[in-house]
Chains A and B, each alone.
Chain A
Amino acid sequence: MTTVATHSEAAAHAHVDDRSFLRKYIFSTDHKIIGIQFLLMSLLFLLVGGTLAMIIRWQQGYPGQAMPGAGVLPETMAADGIILPEFYNSLVTMHGTFMVFFAIMPLLVGVFGNYLIPLKIGAADMAFPRINMASFWIAVPAGILMIVGFFVEGGHAAAGWTGYAPLSAVPEYTGVSLGQQIWCVSLIVLGLSSILGSMNYISTVINLRAPGMTWFRLPLSIWALFITAILVLLAMPILSGALIMLLFDQVLGTHFFLPAQGGQPLLWQHLFWFFGHPEVYILILPAMGFVSDIIANGSRKPIFGYHSMVFAIAAIGFLGWMVWGHHMFQSGMNPTLGTSFMISTMLIAVPSAIKTFNWLGTLWGGSIRFHVPMLHALAFVSMFVIGGLSGVFMASTPVDIYIHDTYFIVAHIHYVLFGGSLFALFAAITFWYPKMFGKLMSPRLGKLHFWLTFIFYNMTFFPMHQLGLQGHMRRIYDPTVYQFLDHLGGLNRFITISAFLLFASQLIFAYSFIAGWFRGEKAPENPWDDTGLEWTTPSPPPHGNWPETPTVHHPPYEFSSPLARDGDFLPQTREVKPLPDPAPTSTPADTPASR
């Protein structure tokens, strides 16, 4: 699609939209609708993942006790309301699987990649709108299939979200046959959706930027989504390959990971984590990008060290390929490899540190507005620091001997994925909701949801560090089997109750999200006084986004710029005549004359 074609298509569609309901909202090629479709689907899976977590926490807090409401579960899952051990293994497996693949990843990449990229670079839509539509509609059957797994004979996959072989490869070892195969097939199908999506994002960012939107005028959210898309493009196929080999071991009698005929269990781990580590950066980079956009907005200041921030995103993306072995320190792999992976893992802490200090630098000297997105973005910085620091412990190979496969790891995962990614998602959803739906969410409900979530979240996950330091292993159905864990029963109950309160607090968000559609105040074009291109078109934008392709004149984040005339910010597309006496110390903003 050349610029010329895009222009006339945009012009045509901005004024006459005669598509049927089916074409407009169901089988839509409009990136905004597809983004919202991913949003609704992913929020549903977030609910599924959260519900599974509640059952896990019940069992950890009250092992062997009947769970209220468990009467609805079939006898393969619970007996007299008591969760069964086989179901417990499925619970931990599916909680991880749904959260990583069907909630967080599509929320970050499928929703905001789709929604923001064309809008923030000044394009009418993605490079390949029909492939974009296919991307969503391929993800849907993958999700349905993953749900179906709960209802087949033998139950759902139970080998962990990491699916280590041989446990995952042989039905006799788990008691699960069809469920484990469904797990593989569903993820393979989802992989195709992700790969097509990432191809679209990369092509769009490279070729469809509006005039004036140079690489170093891209907002950090777009840089992050771009680098993430490259990671998705290169990492997901590795997982697909590994899953195919696992599936073949399960059903075709192959021996990739089965030792009897020379296969190697460790080969699965290398393949999985070679995908898996870039995957966790896929789960954090877009979050960092959104947080940058929102912190600059909330501070009314340019991002501190924009170029370093871009470099840090690229460095994390690049180094992320070299650290996978830190998941395998105790695996039996050559210990010397352990040392080299430790070094690369230690180094990857550095770009994350750069970003953290740059966010602090952005706040410094700012004029901070504590709107709801800003609250969540600040929580991200605070919580991600904890998650990152806990990572230093496990990066040290000898300390990892003790904390590997304990709740210390679980604490780390949840500090970066919930404290990090999910808070960033709450920030992003509340920030871009007005643009998506043309309505404002209630700030009161938003702040209530934020504070309850922040408090209960820390009460739930911070104590897990202690559980791990006391030696509490992961994925164990009944901790009371071990005397050395006896004294942790109270702590486990505390965590469980906090988790229930955390889950309940999300009802406020759900209510606010839905109520906003019906009762929210109508949203103006630019409710946050932001500089991005998406705020120069109505809320929600028409099909085609702008009647004419915009032209970009300024870097992102020109808040409190001396060139700002009305308000304290300079939209990226604002044409500004140069000041009569430009101040020598400030960075001169580009003007049409000087381009």
Chain B
Amino acid sequence: MSHPAHAMTHGDAMHPPVKAEFGSGVYTEKLGMWVFLLSEVMFFTALIGSYLILRFSRPDAWPAGGPQEVLNIPVTAVNTFLLICSSVTMVKAYAAAADGKLNLLPLWLLATTLIGATFVGVQAYEYTELVTHGFGPSSGLFGSTFYTMTGFHGFHVSMGVICMAYVTLRAFRGKYSATDHRGVEVIGLYWHFVDLVWIILFTIVYLI
């Protein structure tokens, strides 16, 4: 992602001036988001780590033919694809802002928001289907770990969708510029993180 227009400038909000003290080298909102994401890594590590410990100690608590015996892989695979698409639209949004294409920025952000909301909706649908077919959180270790991990991921996506909607609204109101679109980059970082967690979850919960 190169922005020749900004390569030589120092002193706009996206590329803070070189300070007297060697800090992080990035503007503080971005630093804050990276730091916050570290805490999120630890949170999901607790959940995923517990899942791995339980799965390896009691493989018999999972269906002999694998998770696909219970879970709807085709639907969630499409959902995964959608979430990945929303990361692409997020990247396009950031690029639009950086390139000064401020008319396209809100549209890409809106697309990201809508796809994110769809992901959550599909997950809600998936949950209701599973529960009506008798697979709930109380369905043994498989149910316990499945709902906790995917549920909290879904919660994080939902929070992301709300923040994304807020950023989208601000974009429509022209609050971002080519020289200051920090909010876009920061929500983008969160969004990509949430996507990455899902890719890991989808692999270890659904496919293996």
A255 to B46, CA, bound (A): 16
- B55 nearest in chain A by CB position: A262
Choose among A202, A210, A241 the residue that contacts B47 (Cβ–Cβ < 8 A): A241
Verify A262–B46 contact, CB threshold 8 A.
no
Interface assignment of B101: CB less than 8 Å from any CB of chain A: no
Choose among B38, B61, B144, B145 the residue that contacts A234 (Cβ–Cβ < 8 A): B38
Interface assignment of A256: CB less than 8 Å from any CB of chain B: yes
Specify which chain B residues have a CB less than 8 angstroms from the CB of A85 in the assembled complex: none
Interface assignment of A213: CB less than 8 Å from any CB of chain B: yes
How far in angstroms is the closest Cβ of chain B from A121?
9
Choose among A203, A211, A263 the residue that contacts B32 (Cβ–Cβ < 8 A): A203
Specify which chain B residues have a CB less than 8 angstroms from the CB of A237 in the assembled complex: 39-40, 42-43, 46
Verify A210–B21 contact, CB threshold 8 A.
yes
Specify which chain B residues have a CB less than 8 angstroms from the CB of A248 in the assembled complex: 137, 144, 147-148
Q: Give the number of chain A interface residues (Cβ < 8 Å).
A: 47
- A251 nearest in chain B by CB position: B137
- A196 nearest in chain B by CB position: B36
Main secondary structure of the interface of A (DSSP, over half): helix
The stretch of B11-19, B69-77, B192-200 that contacts the partner chain: B11-19
Most buried by B among A199, A233, A249: A199
Verify A233–B21 contact, CB threshold 8 A.
no
Verify B152–A244 contact, CB threshold 8 A.
yes
Interface assignment of B57: CB less than 8 Å from any CB of chain A: yes
Verify A262–B140 contact, CB threshold 8 A.
yes
Verify A233–B50 contact, CB threshold 8 A.
no
Specify which chain B residues have a CB less than 8 angstroms from the CB of A235 in the assembled complex: 42
Specify which chain A residues have a CB less than 8 angstroms from the CB of B54 in the assembled complex: 256, 262-264, 267
**CB proximity to A under 8 Å, residues B16-56:** 16-17, 19-24, 27-28, 31-32, 35-36, 38-40, 42-47, 50, 53-54
Verify A199–B35 contact, CB threshold 8 A.
yes
A252 to B140, CA, bound (A): 11
Verify A254–B144 contact, CB threshold 8 A.
yes
**CB proximity to B under 8 Å, residues A185-205:** 195-196, 198-200, 202-203
Verify B138–A238 contact, CB threshold 8 A.
no
Verify A203–B31 contact, CB threshold 8 A.
yes
Specify which chain B residues have a CB less than 8 angstroms from the CB of A212 in the assembled complex: 20-21
Specify which chain B residues have a CB less than 8 angstroms from the CB of A236 in the assembled complex: 39
Specify which chain A residues have a CB less than 8 angstroms from the CB of B145 in the assembled complex: 256
Verify A264–B53 contact, CB threshold 8 A.
yes
Choose among B13, B38, B141 the residue that contacts A233 (Cβ–Cβ < 8 A): B38
Specify which chain B residues have a CB less than 8 angstroms from the CB of A233 in the assembled complex: 35, 38-39, 42
Verify A234–B50 contact, CB threshold 8 A.
no
Verify A199–B39 contact, CB threshold 8 A.
yes
A198 to B36, CA, bound (A): 9
Interface assignment of A240: CB less than 8 Å from any CB of chain B: yes
Choose among A195, A207, A238, A242 the residue that contacts B31 (Cβ–Cβ < 8 A): A207
How far in angstroms is the closest Cβ of chain A from B41?
8
Interface assignment of B170: CB less than 8 Å from any CB of chain A: no
Specify which chain B residues have a CB less than 8 angstroms from the CB of A234 in the assembled complex: 38-39, 42
Verify A213–B21 contact, CB threshold 8 A.
yes
A569 to B28, CA, bound (A): 34
Q: Would A209 and B45 be within 8 Å (CB), given that A233-B35, A244-B152 are in contact?
A: no
Specify which chain B residues have a CB less than 8 angstroms from the CB of A127 in the assembled complex: 28, 31-32
Choose among A208, A213, A214, A256 the residue that contacts B28 (Cβ–Cβ < 8 A): A208
Specify which chain A residues have a CB less than 8 angstroms from the CB of B42 in the assembled complex: 233-235, 237-238
Verify A207–B39 contact, CB threshold 8 A.
no
Verify A241–B46 contact, CB threshold 8 A.
yes
Q: Would A240 and B141 be within 8 Å (CB), given that A209-B23, A211-B21, A264-B57 are in contact?
A: no
A238 to B44, CA, bound (A): 8
Interface assignment of B67: CB less than 8 Å from any CB of chain A: no
Range, interface on chain B: 35 or more
Verify B50–A241 contact, CB threshold 8 A.
yes
How far in angstroms is the closest Cβ of chain B from A249?
8
A325 to B43, CA, bound (A): 20
Interface assignment of B63: CB less than 8 Å from any CB of chain A: no
Q: Would A214 and B35 be within 8 Å (CB), given that A242-B46, A264-B57 are in contact?
A: no
Specify which chain B residues have a CB less than 8 angstroms from the CB of A210 in the assembled complex: 20-21
A264 to B144, CA, bound (A): 13
Specify which chain A residues have a CB less than 8 angstroms from the CB of B32 in the assembled complex: 127-128, 199-200, 203
Interface assignment of A206: CB less than 8 Å from any CB of chain B: yes
Interface assignment of A261: CB less than 8 Å from any CB of chain B: yes
Verify A206–B24 contact, CB threshold 8 A.
yes
**CB proximity to B under 8 Å, residues A42-81:** none
Interface assignment of B66: CB less than 8 Å from any CB of chain A: no
Interface assignment of A2: CB less than 8 Å from any CB of chain B: yes
Interface assignment of B143: CB less than 8 Å from any CB of chain A: yes
A271 to B54, CA, bound (A): 13
Specify which chain B residues have a CB less than 8 angstroms from the CB of A245 in the assembled complex: 47, 50, 144, 148
Interface assignment of B100: CB less than 8 Å from any CB of chain A: no
A195 to B16, CA, bound (A): 26
- A209 nearest in chain B by CB position: B21
Choose among B19, B36, B44, B53 the residue that contacts A267 (Cβ–Cβ < 8 A): B53
How far in angstroms is the closest Cβ of chain B from A62?
43
Specify which chain B residues have a CB less than 8 angstroms from the CB of A267 in the assembled complex: 50, 53-54
A84 to B54, CA, bound (A): 38
- A202 nearest in chain B by CB position: B35
Task: Write out, one digit per residue, whether chain A residues 165-198 have a CB within 8 A of any chain B CB (1) or not (0).
Answer: 0000000000000000000000000000001101
Most buried by B among A202, A214, A255: A255
- B48 nearest in chain A by CB position: A241
Most buried by A among B43, B60, B148: B43
A202 to B61, CA, bound (A): 42
Residue numbers of B with Cβ under 8 A of A are: 13, 16-17, 19-24, 27-28, 31-32, 35-36, 38-40, 42-47, 50, 53-54, 57-58, 60-61, 136-138, 140-141, 143-145, 147-148, 152
- The 28 listed contacts between A and B (C-beta, < 8 Å) are A2-B16, A2-B17, A128-B28, A203-B35, A206-B24, A207-B28, A207-B31, A210-B20, A211-B21, A212-B21, A233-B42, A237-B40, A237-B42, A237-B46, A238-B42, A241-B43, A241-B47, A241-B50, A248-B148, A252-B138, A253-B137, A254-B144, A254-B148, A262-B54, A262-B61, A262-B140, A267-B53, A267-B54
Q: A207-B23, A248-B148 are in contact. List 18 more A-B contacts (CB 8 A).
A: A2-B13, A3-B17, A3-B19, A127-B31, A199-B36, A209-B23, A215-B22, A237-B40, A240-B43, A241-B44, A241-B47, A244-B148, A245-B144, A245-B148, A252-B147, A254-B143, A262-B60, A267-B53
Query: Nearest 4 A-B pairs (CB), nearest first?
Result: A253-B138, A241-B46, A211-B20, A254-B144
